[in-house]
Structure 1
Amino acid sequence: MIKEAIEYIVRLGNVESYKINGQEYSSERLHLIEKPKASPFQVRSLSGLVEYLKSNFDGVENLMIHISSPTEVLAFTPVNDDYNRSEFIQASAMIPSFNFDRWYNTEEFNIKLQSSFVKNEDRDIMLKVVGNIKEENVNTIGDDGVSQAVVAKTGVASVGNVKVPNPVSLKPYRTFVEVDQPESDFVFRMKSGPSCALFEADGGAWKLDAMKNIKKYLEESLASEIADGKLIIIA
């Protein structure tokens, strides 16, 4: 047992190579000792990312900034001799929680509209409809899959059928707060309860708009660094 262990240790220090059919083989499995690489520093805003890059804190030149999604931006170096990259900083957006395709009761929905969406005309119309519903049943008479009606307060003391707006153009907080939130269309539906839901209706086109907005913000904020050839931005 001891003899076999000693022979094994000796073999470790005497790795041989062989050529067979033009290919080179080793007598032992070898493991590459890779060069060290940096792990990304985490920030939660585009302004934090810009401040770090402007400071040149780590003394790194030639960084590429990759806008990988509406909520993620990463800065990294070219590949090293091992074809690995060092990732120096990552920005992840903080956005309020809102679940599309989920039914909310009217009180929750009212709060979400005010806290998770940028104020615009359609949002204000929806707040008036949702905030003035008088009874639990949603009137589906004449519902063609698009238009609905609810019984709601239409004045100080009057009650009447109010048409539910549909589709609606809204600007939910879905990307970094430093840039303009993309406006897109949603299907707004209500059902007995009463409860409300929003369904995305733009096929995800808003994501491309958000990434363009992020790129524009970074290009303006880092104009001198880009002009000097220190930074490249891709989306």
Structure 2
Amino acid sequence: MIKEALQYIVGLGKAEIHGENGQTYSDKKLHLIEEPTATPFTVHTLSGLVSYIKSEFDGDEPVILHVVSPTSVTVKSALNSDQERDYFLKAEALLPTFIFNDWYSTEKFNISLQSCFIQNEDRDVMLKVVGNITEDQVKTVSDDGVSQAVVAKVGVASVGNVEVPNPVSLIPYRTFVEVVQPESDFIFRMQSGPSCALYEADGGAWKNEAVDNIKDYLRRSLKEEVEAGRVTIIA
């Protein structure tokens, strides 16, 4: 026990450096004393991010703006001596919730169309169809696998076969409100209940468009900083 204790105490001494075969070795494990880095705070708008950059609150050193996704942008510094970055700020979009590829009751679907989507022609057509379906009328649904037809009110006191629009071009809120929301195609389906669902049908192309829109907005808003080399924007 005494021998082991003495060996442990000796081991606490200064590390010795040795060279062998052109490489450098230490007889003890060394721990790097890292340069401290900043931790981010969060804003929820692109305008808030732009205001932060323009304020030079944390200095005027060059920063990189990374458009991570349609709902996230980060602000980081250049690499330090430890090959790490200060992480100054993160912008996260606050968006209304709509779950694609899931079924909604006609009432909830109607409300969601009006609160989570920007008005356009296809949205208005869908509202008319969904708003005129009743529980007993859903029993007479025809479906050829691509398009559907349902019995709905077509006048004050009459009903008739109404074709369900499909596919539909809609503009949901899916990125920061300061930029144009991408329009894309969706498959609109109805089933007994009655209930409705939307399925994305553009292969995710809207994400690239949204990222490009964010990048363009930042370039315009931070034109002087970009030209001066203080801000680099990547997407």
Task: Please report the TM-score for the alignment, with normalisation by the length of structure 2.
Answer: 0.95
Equivalent residue, structure 1, for 2:199: 199
Cα offsets for 1:10-34 (capped at 9, x unmatched): 3222211223333222111111111
Equivalent residue, structure 1, for 2:124: 124
Equivalent residue, structure 2, for 1:62: 62
Equivalent residue, structure 1, for 2:76: 76
Aligned to 1:196, what secondary structure does the other structure show?
A: strand
Pair 144,165 (structure 1): closer, same or farther in 2 beyond 3 Å: same
The answer for unaligned runs of 5 or more in structure 1 is: none
Pairing of 1:141-220 with structure 2 (within 5 A)? 141=142, 143-220=143-220
Residue identity over aligned pairs, in percent, reads 63
Pairing of 1:35-114 with structure 2 (within 5 A)? 35-114=35-114
Measure, in 1, the Cα distance between the counterparts of 2:227 and 2:17.
50
Measure, in 2, the Cα distance between the counterparts of 1:144 and 1:5.
83
Compute the displacement of 1:138 (Å).
5.3
Aligned to 1:109, what secondary structure does the other structure show?
A: helix
Measure, in 1, the Cα distance between the counterparts of 2:63 and 2:219.
14
Instruction: Note if contact 1:167-1:185 (Cα within 8 Å) is conserved in structure 2.
Output: yes
* AA of the residue aligned to 1:92: E
Measure, in 1, the Cα distance between the counterparts of 2:18 and 2:137.
82
Instruction: Note if contact 2:137-2:152 (Cα within 8 Å) is conserved in structure 1.
Output: no
Cα offsets for 1:44-85 (capped at 9, x unmatched): 110110110110101132111110100000111111111001
Bigger mean CA offset, 13-22 vs 176-185: 13-22
Compute the displacement of 1:136 (Å).
4.9
Residue 137 (1) aligns with residue 126 (2): no
Aligned to 2:111, what secondary structure does the other structure show?
A: helix
Measure, in 1, the Cα distance between the counterparts of 2:184 and 2:115.
18
Aligned to 1:229, what secondary structure does the other structure show?
A: coil
Bigger mean CA offset, 128-137 vs 187-196: 128-137
Equivalent residue, structure 2, for 1:222: 222
Aligned to 1:133, what secondary structure does the other structure show?
A: coil
Tell me how large the CA RMSD over aligned residues is.
1.4
Task: Please report the TM-score for the alignment, with normalisation by the length of structure 1.
Answer: 0.95
Residue 25 (1) aligns with residue 25 (2): yes
- Equivalences, count: 234
Cα offsets for 1:147-179 (capped at 9, x unmatched): 101111111111111000000000001000111
Compute the displacement of 1:140 (Å).
3.9
* AA of the residue aligned to 1:117: F
Compute the displacement of 1:7 (Å).
4.1
Measure, in 2, the Cα distance between the counterparts of 1:40 and 1:184.
33
Cα offsets for 1:112-167 (capped at 9, x unmatched): 101111111111110110000133525443x2211101111111111111000000
Instruction: Note if contact 2:147-2:164 (Cα within 8 Å) is conserved in structure 1.
Output: yes
Compute the displacement of 1:3 (Å).
6.2
* AA of the residue aligned to 2:172: P
Compute the displacement of 1:223 (Å).
1.1
Instruction: Note if contact 1:44-1:93 (Cα within 8 Å) is conserved in structure 2.
Output: yes
Instruction: Note if contact 1:138-1:190 (Cα within 8 Å) is conserved in structure 2.
Output: no
